[in-house]
Amino acid sequence: MKPYNQDNKTKSEEVREMFDRIAPKYDLLNHTLSAGIDKLWRRRVVRIVRRRHPRRILDVATGTGDLAIALARRLRETRILAVDPSAGMLAEAQRKVIREGLDERIVLAEGVAEQLPSVSDATFDAVTVAFGVRNFGDLDRGLRELLRTLKPGGQIVILEFSTPTLPVIRTLYRWYSHTILPRIGGTISRDRSAYEYLPASVDEFPAPELFLKRMAEAGFRNVKARSLTLGIARIYTGER
pLDDT band for 138, please (50, 70, 90 cuts): very high
Tell me the domain boundaries of the chain. 11-163+206-239
Instruction: Please give the CATH number for the structural domain made up of 11-163+206-239.
Output: 3.40.50.150
Return the number of other C-beta atoms located less than 10 Å from residue 4's C-beta.
15
- Reported as type and span, the H/E element at residue 235 is strand 233-239
Amino acid at 26: Y
Candidates 115, 59, 114, 109; CA nearest to 86 is: 109
CA 103 to chain centre: 21
So what's the pLDDT on residue 84?
Answer: 98
Confidence class for position 32, pLDDT limits 50, 70, 90 = confident
pLDDT value for 181: 92
DSSP 126-194: EEEEES-GGG-SSHHHHHHHHHHHEEEEEEEEEEEE---SSHHHHHHHHHIIIIIHHHHHHHHHS-HHH
200-228 burial code (b ≥16 CB/10 A, e <16) = bbbeebbebeebbebbeebebeebebeeb
Is residue 34 pLDDT above 90, yes or no?
no
The pTM (predicted TM-score) of the whole model is 0.96
Beta bridge partners of 59: 82, 128
